[in-house]
Amino acid sequence: MTDFNLISDLLPIIANIYFNGRLNGQQQTTSFSLDLGQAAILLGVGLQRKSVDNVAKELELPIEQGYALLNKSIRRLSNHFDTICRDSIELDSIMEEQSETKNNGKRIRVSHFDVEE
């Protein structure tokens, strides 16, 4: 099981991203969704900041099943985040190759700066 103490501070952020529908990457053609039970546990723990024990009791589930649902949702979300990162890296490398092709193989380094007045 995922060490809950290591990720408990991230759950409100992850839940916010999930429930606001911001989990689709640049190349994702299908939307990501959790099962109803997994989403309910994530909602209670992440957004309502309740304990897994309390959410499981409210849903009339055994406490062990509440932890299992949370663990499964975290694993699925983690795998989805990995996919988004891999897709982004792949897209960046494709764009870099296309840029080099357009510039006759010459590398051009572009830097981004924020300027404050």
For residue 83, what pLDDT is reported?
87
In a domain, 115, yes or no: no
CATH of the domain at 57: 1.10.10.10
The separation between CA 88 and the C-alpha centre of its own chain, rounded to angstroms, equals 13
pLDDT digits (tens, 9 = 90+) for 96-106: 777 766 666 56
pTM metric for this prediction: 0.73
Q: Is residue 112 part of a domain?
A: no
Pick the range with the lowest mean pLDDT from 66-75, 82-91, 103-112.
103-112
What is the predicted pLDDT for the residue at 87? 83
For residue 22, is pLDDT > 90? Answer: no
- pLDDT range class, residue 40, cuts 50, 70, 90: very high
**Residue 84 · residue 25 · CB < 8 Å:** yes
114 within some domain? no
Average pLDDT over every residue of 72-83: 92
**116 in a domain, yes or no?**
no
CB 15 within 8 A of CB 43: yes
Per the structure, how many domains does the chain have? 1
Residue 18 lies in a domain: yes
% of the chain beyond a pLDDT of 90: 50
Residue 34 near residue 42, CB atoms below 8 Å: yes
Query: What is the C-alpha to C-alpha distance for residues 100 and 93, in angstroms, rounded to an integer?
Result: 11
Residue 11 belongs to a domain: yes
Residue 23 lies in a domain: yes
Q: Which domain holds residue 97?
A: 4-102
> Is 9 inside a domain boundary?
yes
